[in-house]
Amino acid sequence: GAGKTRLATEAASRHPAQQRGRVWFAALAGVRDPEDLGGALLGALEIRDIRSTEPEIRRPLDPLDQAIEVLGGAEALLVLDNCE
């Protein structure tokens, strides 16, 4: 009702990271179980099974670590819509 999503989308489109393709939008309205939040974030970031960069580990990272791998290293913006 108040236009929060539209405002967030407009602000994200003007963010400097947008020019480098480092802005993501995670629509969380359908997430009911906190356990599903990681999967929703990975979907928004278009991540599939990132493995640890540590050669001795070589196992899938948990969703939060995977998001950190993608978002780290350069300016980025991840908009979390309907995160209530």
How far apart CA 33 and CA 66 sit, in angstroms, is 20
pLDDT of 60: 64
Higher confidence at residue 79 or residue 57? 79
Tell me the backbone φ, ψ of residue 60, rounded to 5 degrees. -60, 140
At 43-57, the pLDDT tens digits run 999 887 655 556 555
Q: Which residues face 26 on adjacent strands?
A: 80
Predicted confidence at residue 26, as pLDDT, reads 95
Domain that holds residue 58: 4-81
- Which pTM does this prediction carry? 0.77
**How many structural domains compose the chain?**
1
Q: Determine the length of the chain.
A: 84
Higher pLDDT, 47 or 78: 78
List residues bridging with 60 in a β-sheet: 51
Average pLDDT, the chain: 86
